[in-house]
Structure 1
Amino acid sequence: MSVFQLSVGAQCYDWGKLGLDSKVAQFAQCSPEFTVNEAKPYAELWMGTHPSLASKVFKTGETLKAHLTLHPELLGVKVRAKFGDDLPFLFKVLAIRKALSIQAHPDKALAQKLHRERPDIYKDGNHKVRANSPQPGFTHPIPEMAVAITDFCGFCGFLPVEKIAEYLSFVPELTELVNKPIAEAFRMAVTEPQPTYETVEACLRDVFTRLMSAEDADVQRQVQNLIARYEDGQAKPAEEGVKDLAIELNKQYPGDVGIFCVFLLNVVKLHAGQAVFLKANEPHAYIYGDIMECMATSDNVVRAGLTPKLRDVPTLTSMLTYKWGPADSQIMPPVKYRTTKATTIYDPPIEEFSVLMTCLKAGENETHEPIDGPSILIITEGGGRLVWTEKDGSQQEEALDKPGIVYFAGAGVALEFAAGENGITVYRAITEVP
C-alpha cells in the first residue's frame, strides 16, 4: 500500500499542556497504545522515524522506519538520491503551556562533535540537516518552521540592534548584568555614522554572551529589581510592550536569566494559519500556543535559559549567527498551492520539507496532485474521507472520522480529501526534490 494510517506517540515535557487540555493528548487518543493522564503535561506529538519516538504502521505495529527500509520506493527516486533511505523531516504538534528554553540547534559538524565528546548529554549524532544524507561532508545548518493552529507567541531571532541599544540605555538591571563598558561599546557601535556589520555583530555577541554567562546571584538580584520596578508601576513607556511578558516569565522561571531576553529577542505573535521561519543558528523559544512544527530528523537542542535542564552557555553563545532584524521578517506568508482551491503551502527555501494546509467546508473536495516524495498528514479539525488510486489502478478509500488521525503517503500518489458535515482541516508535511 502507498497510503496507510500511522500510530504515533506523545512526549511529556514540563512545558506541555495538561491532560486533555492539550491538543497533543487529544490527537494521541487516535493511537491504540495511548492512555491519557489528566495530571501529565502532553507537549509534543511526533510523526516520523526518529528512534526516540518512532511512528508505527497502524495495522501491523511495524515501525515506519522498518517499513520504509523494506519499501524504499515509497520515498521516491530523487528523495532517496538526495537524503538516503529515511524521511528527511520530523513532523510534530506542540501544545505549549509555558515557555520553552532559550535554544538553538547545531549544524551537522557541531552535532557530531557534541555527540562524540558528550554523548550522555547530546545523545543524537544527527542534526537539523539532511538526516542520514549520502553527502556526509555537507554541514550547512537547516532551520525549522512553525505553523500556528491557535494564537501563538515566541522569541525568534535578535531584535533590531537599534532597539537593543535603546534598552541598554535605560534598563539599569540589564546594563548591570551585561556590564556597563560592554553595553556602552555596543551603543557606540550601533550609533556610529557608518557602522560596519562585523563590528556590530561582534558587539552583539559580547552583549548576549555576557548576559547569559552572568553569575546566578547577580541575575536573581537584578530580576528581583526589574520585577519590583514593574509591579510598582515604574516601567518606562518603551518597556510597556515587554513588561507583562517579563512578569509572566518570572512566574514560570523565577530569577532566570532568560527573562532578560525580552530586551534582546523578537517577540513574534501569530494567529492560526500564520507561520514563522526560524533561520539557522538563531536563538528562539516558544512561549505559548499550539503549533505544527517541521524540522529535519533530530532532537538536538542547546539551551541557555528558561529551563530546569542542563544549560550549555558556551556552546550556544559560540554557535549563533547573531543576525538581527524586525519581528515581521521572521513571518513566512503562505501561498496558494499549485492548482488547488483550498490548500496553501508554507515553503521555506530548503529541500527537506514544506507544509501544506487544506481547509475544506462541509461537502467540499480537494485533490493534491502526485509528488515525487514522501509525506505525512494529520487531521486537526473536523473529518471526512481520504481517497487515492494505487499504482495497480485500484481505488482506495479511508475514513478520516476525527482529529488526530495520521497517515503516511508514499511518492507518486494523488490524494483526494472529501470534507464531512463539519468540514476538515489537514496539515501535510511533504518532501519534493526538483
Structure 2
Amino acid sequence: MSSAPPVFALAAGLQSYDWGKLGKESKAAQYALSAALPDFELVEDKPYAELWMGTHPTLPSKVHGTSETLAAHLATNKSYIGDSVSERFQVKDGNLPFLFKILAIRKALSIQAHPDKKFAEKLHAERPDLYKGTPPLYDNHKPEMAIALTPFKALCGFRPLPEISNFLTTVPELGALIPPTIIAKFTTVAASPNPNGPAEKAALREVFSALMTVEPEQVKGQLSLLIARYKAGAVTPQEVPLRDLAIAIESDFPNDIGVFCPFVLNVIDLEPGQAIFLGAGEPHAYISGDIVETMATSDNVLRAGLTPKVRDVPNLITSLTYESGPGLNHCVRPSQFSDNTLLYDPPIPEFSVLEVNVPKDGAEKHKALDGPSLAIVTEGEGSVHWDNEELGLKEGSVIFIAAGQEVDLKATCGGLTVYRAFVEAK
C-alpha cells in the first residue's frame, strides 16, 4: 500500500472558450477564484467556459501545491485506481476512464454527436489529421451526462416524428429547405406505431441529411425570412416556444443551418439537480446554463452547425442512431445512495455521479467504492475525513478519493454540496 494519502486536494484547469460565461457570471470562474487556482486572475470580460478535473493530457489536474499531474501520481500509486477498474478499462499511465467538468454556457455550443468506438477507430484511420491523438483520445466513444447547477437549456435527440412532421408542413421557411418528395415520404411514416423502425429511421435520416446539406445561400435566404417573421410577431402557436430561441441563436450564429435544428431536435429545460445523458450517435447542443458534466475520456466530436470549428457533416449524418422520442427520454433520474446523497447512474460503465447535500453541522458517510473518485464542492464549507485524517473543504475545492477508501463528509457554515464522479467495474 502506498504511503501517499488516499484522499488529497487537486488543482483543476480552466478553459476559456468563446461560448463561456463572462467573468464572475461563470460558475467555472467562481470555483477557480474561490479555490485560488495557481496563477488565476479573474478578468470580468473574459469568457470562462470549462473547469476540467481529471487526467486528460490537454489540461491535466495537478496534485495541489505541486507540479505533479494526477496521472503521474496515480501511475505511482496504482492501488488508488483499483485492480478491477484497471483491468476493466485497461488503465495505462494513471489515466482515468472519465473526465469531470464544470461548464458555464453563455451561448450555444455546436450541433454535435459523438461516434461509437468502432466508428471512432474508422474516423482516425481515414482522417488522422482531423481525428488525432493517442488512445483513448481517438479510439473511444464519448458518452456524457449533464447535471444542471442553474437553469439549463439544451437540444437533445430527435423529436417525436409527428412533431417534426408538423414543423415541416407548417413552418414555410423550414419546408422550403427540404425537397417536397422527402417531406411527403416523411409525413407518411410520421404517424407510424413503430417510430424507431427501419423505414422510419431511414425517412428521418433523409430529412436530417437534406436539412444539413442545404446550400448556404438558400439557408441565408430562408433564415432571414424566418427571423423577420418572428420579429414582426407572425408566429404560429406551435412556434411560440422556439421563437426567442431561434432569434437568440441566429444573433450569435447568423446564416447558420443550426438555427433550424430546434425544429427537429428536442428542446429541453432543466432545473438545478435535473440531468440528461447522451450516448453515441445522439445529436445535441448545449444552449445555456451552468452544469456538472461527466464524460468518457475521448476527443471524438462530430460537428455540423453553430460552430467556427471544422464541420464534418457527412460523418455526423452517418454516425447518428436516428432514434426519436421525447426529450424526457434522455433524462437521468437519480436514486438514493445514502441519507443525503443521490446517485446519477447512466447506462454506461465509465462513470456515475453522486450529489451530496449535507445539512449545516451534519455529516454524511460514504462507503468505500471499488474505483477512484473526483469530487468538487459547489456550495458551502466543511471537511472530508478518513482514517483519522481530515482535509478542509470550501466552494471550488477539488479532491481525489482512492478506490476502497471510506470517507465522511462534514458540513459547516450553512451546509455542504459536493458532486463526486466515480467509476467502478460494473
**Shorter-chain TM-score above 0.5:** yes
Do the aligned partners of 1:126 and 1:300 also contact (CA within 8 Å) in 2?
no
Q: CA deviation at 1:121?
A: 2.5
Instruction: Indicate yes or no: 2:398 matched with 1:377.
Output: no
| Residue 407 (structure 1) aligns with | 399
Deviation per residue, 1:222-259 (Å, 9 max, x gap): 10011111112211111112111111111111121001
Deviation per residue, 1:327-368 (Å, 9 max, x gap): 11111111100xx21100000122111000001221011010
Do the aligned partners of 1:127 and 1:296 also contact (CA within 8 Å) in 2?
no
Q: CA, structure 1 residues 59+419, in 2 after alignment: closer, same or farther (shift >3 Å)? A: same
Question: In structure 1, what is the Cα distance between the partners aligned to 2:130 and 2:194?
Answer: 43
Matches within 5 A, 1:174-323: 174-191=174-191, 197-323=197-323
**What is the percent sequence identity of the aligned residues?**
51
Q: Secondary structure at the match of 2:408?
A: strand
Q: CA, structure 1 residues 47+255, in 2 after alignment: closer, same or farther (shift >3 Å)? A: same
Q: CA, structure 1 residues 126+218, in 2 after alignment: closer, same or farther (shift >3 Å)? A: farther
Q: CA, structure 1 residues 125+113, in 2 after alignment: closer, same or farther (shift >3 Å)? A: farther
Do the aligned partners of 1:68 and 1:75 also contact (CA within 8 Å) in 2?
yes
Question: In structure 1, what is the Cα distance between the partners aligned to 2:195 and 2:374?
Answer: 47
TM-score, normalised to structure 2's length?
0.94
| Residue 68 (structure 2) aligns with | 62
Q: CA, structure 1 residues 82+64, in 2 after alignment: closer, same or farther (shift >3 Å)? A: same
Letter of the 2:259 partner, please give it: I
TM-score, normalised to structure 1's length?
0.92
Q: Secondary structure at the match of 1:303?
A: strand
| Residue 121 (structure 2) aligns with | 112
| Residue 415 (structure 2) aligns with | 423
Question: In structure 1, what is the Cα distance between the partners aligned to 2:376 and 2:238?
Answer: 42
Question: In structure 2, what is the Cα distance between the partners aligned to 1:324 and 1:52?
Answer: 34
Letter of the 2:162 partner, please give it: E
Question: In structure 2, what is the Cα distance between the partners aligned to 1:122 and 1:130?
Answer: 9
Do the aligned partners of 1:129 and 1:296 also contact (CA within 8 Å) in 2?
no
| Residue 6 (structure 2) aligns with | 2
Question: In structure 2, what is the Cα distance between the partners aligned to 1:130 and 1:347?
Answer: 24
Q: Secondary structure at the match of 1:45?
A: strand
Q: Secondary structure at the match of 1:298?
A: coil
Do the aligned partners of 1:246 and 1:259 also contact (CA within 8 Å) in 2?
yes
Question: In structure 1, what is the Cα distance between the partners aligned to 2:399 and 2:193?
Answer: 57
Q: Secondary structure at the match of 2:268?
A: strand
Q: CA deviation at 1:38?
A: 2.2
Matches within 5 A, 1:319-398: 319-337=319-337, 340-389=338-387, 395-398=388-391
Matches within 5 A, 1:28-67: 28-29=32-33, 30=35, 31-67=37-73
113-122 or 351-360, which deviates more = 113-122
Q: CA, structure 1 residues 9+279, in 2 after alignment: closer, same or farther (shift >3 Å)? A: same
Letter of the 1:273 partner, please give it: G
Q: CA deviation at 1:60?
A: 2.5
Letter of the 2:350 partner, please give it: E
Q: Secondary structure at the match of 2:176?
A: helix
Letter of the 1:397 partner, please give it: E
Deviation per residue, 1:259-298 (Å, 9 max, x gap): 1111100011100001111132100000000000001111
Question: In structure 1, what is the Cα distance between the partners aligned to 2:199 and 2:206?
Answer: 11
Q: CA, structure 1 residues 371+192, in 2 after alignment: closer, same or farther (shift >3 Å)? A: closer
Question: In structure 2, what is the Cα distance between the partners aligned to 1:21 and 1:48?
Answer: 24
RMSD: 1.7
Do the aligned partners of 1:159 and 1:264 also contact (CA within 8 Å) in 2?
yes
Do the aligned partners of 2:372 and 2:402 also contact (CA within 8 Å) in 1?
yes
Question: In structure 2, what is the Cα distance between the partners aligned to 1:266 and 1:84?
Answer: 36
Q: Secondary structure at the match of 2:19?
A: coil
Do the aligned partners of 2:165 and 2:187 also contact (CA within 8 Å) in 1?
yes
Do the aligned partners of 1:83 and 1:130 also contact (CA within 8 Å) in 2?
no
Question: In structure 2, what is the Cα distance between the partners aligned to 1:130 and 1:294?
Answer: 18
Letter of the 1:398 partner, please give it: L
Q: Which runs of 5+ in 1 are unaligned?
A: 132-140, 390-394
Q: Which runs of 5+ in 2 are unaligned?
A: none
Do the aligned partners of 1:342 and 1:359 also contact (CA within 8 Å) in 2?
yes
Q: Secondary structure at the match of 2:276?
A: strand
Letter of the 1:265 partner, please give it: L
Question: In structure 2, what is the Cα distance between the partners aligned to 1:124 and 1:175?
Answer: 41
Question: In structure 2, what is the Cα distance between the partners aligned to 1:279 and 1:128?
Answer: 17
Do the aligned partners of 1:156 and 1:278 also contact (CA within 8 Å) in 2?
yes
| Residue 11 (structure 1) aligns with | 15
